[in-house]
Structure 1
Amino acid sequence: MASWLYEALLLFAMGLIATLVFSVAIDMRSGMDSRRWLLQGFLAVVFGIYFSFFWSKGQTLPMKTWRITVVDRHGQRLTQGRALLRYVFCSIWVLPPLAALASRQFTVAQLSVIFFGWVAVWAVLSRFHPQGQFWHDAWAGTRLVDAR
């Protein structure tokens, strides 16, 4: 989970640059623009490219720092397709809180509790996997291993 914080810093910077490029390209001058769903989709694609590229190489920079490697069930590097599938399944970490956000029924404090509560529950559910892996890894046919 500490790797997540480092990854979040990188994604924040990458998201800022991608948003700038997108906003200039389509002349989007406000976050309240009716085309903001296009920006959200664009960012999802940019992040998908980032993760699938680096996971197919074995590690992102934060994963290198914490000596974590992602491999397939046979211990081999991921293909681009498998890495992209893992990215899709990883969305389970954020989709339920995003659905709560989209409902516009919750305050910021309530959304924070929903997000952190969901992440905690989803992380604890890994304890029920026979090898202690996260369920998105089991579904994608991948696993995290010690890079040492």
Structure 2
Amino acid sequence: MPSNNATAAVPSVRRRLVSMVYELLLAFAVLFLPFLVFEMLVDASHAAAAEHGRQALAFLVLGAYFIDQWSRNGQTLAMQTWRLRVTLPDGAPVPLKRATLRYLLAWMWVLPALVASWAFGLEHWGALGAIAIGIALWALTAFLDRDRQFLHDRIAGTRLVQLPKPVKKEAAGAA
């Protein structure tokens, strides 16, 4: 469903961030069953190999979810709720390779903070604080872009657009 790029509304940064909070809640649901199976297989071990396995599993499962949704209809469930769609700059659907690139680049929201936490030995609240700061700084990249797109969308050659409100159907009896 390509739309005219000139008429596509740019969603506010606030709207995108609220959608991301909802996306985080849905991500827990997406990860629940794979993690349940994984925990049964490793007997809930906390060995280093199991911890790395959990991280790899989360990365792969979330990647499969987001890449599939973005390349299929441009929207995850949270994006549908907030009437957001990821498209190419001309409004065309996002191909699989571009959706994959967008997913990898989206990890820049947290990856620098995770690396900094590891490098400085931050744990618990310190690491969580570093991640919060990293997310806030990445969100600010939208204010540096002329189209108010986040940096990962600019680099991936994608953009988020705001879909119009659906037209309300009038009651059949009202005439």
With normalisation by structure 1, the TM-score equals 0.91
Cα distance, 1:103 vs structure 2: 3.6
Following superposition of structure 1 onto structure 2, how do residues 1-148 of structure 1 map, counting pairs within 5 Å? 1-24=17-40, 27-35=41-49, 36-56=51-71, 57-103=73-119, 105-148=121-164
Cα distance, 1:37 vs structure 2: 0.9
Residue correspondences, number: 146
Task: Supply the distance in 2 between the matched residues of 1:34 and 1:64 (Cα, whole angstroms).
Answer: 38
Q: Which range moved further: 60-69 or 33-42?
A: 33-42
Q: Is the 8 A contact 2:117 2:130 kept in 1?
A: no
Cα distance, 1:65 vs structure 2: 0.7
Q: Is the 8 A contact 2:39 2:45 kept in 1?
A: no
Structure 1 unaligned regions, length at least 5: none
Percent pairwise identity: 35
Higher relative contact order (CA 8 A, sep 6+): 2
Say which SS state the counterpart of residue 122 (structure 2) adopts. Answer: coil
Structure 2 unaligned regions, length at least 5: 1-16, 165-175
Task: Supply the distance in 2 between the matched residues of 1:33 and 1:16 (Cα, whole angstroms).
Answer: 20
With normalisation by structure 2, the TM-score equals 0.77
Greater Rg by CA:
2
Task: Supply the distance in 2 between the matched residues of 1:45 and 1:29 (Cα, whole angstroms).
Answer: 21
Runs of 4+ in 1 over 6 A off after TM superposition: none
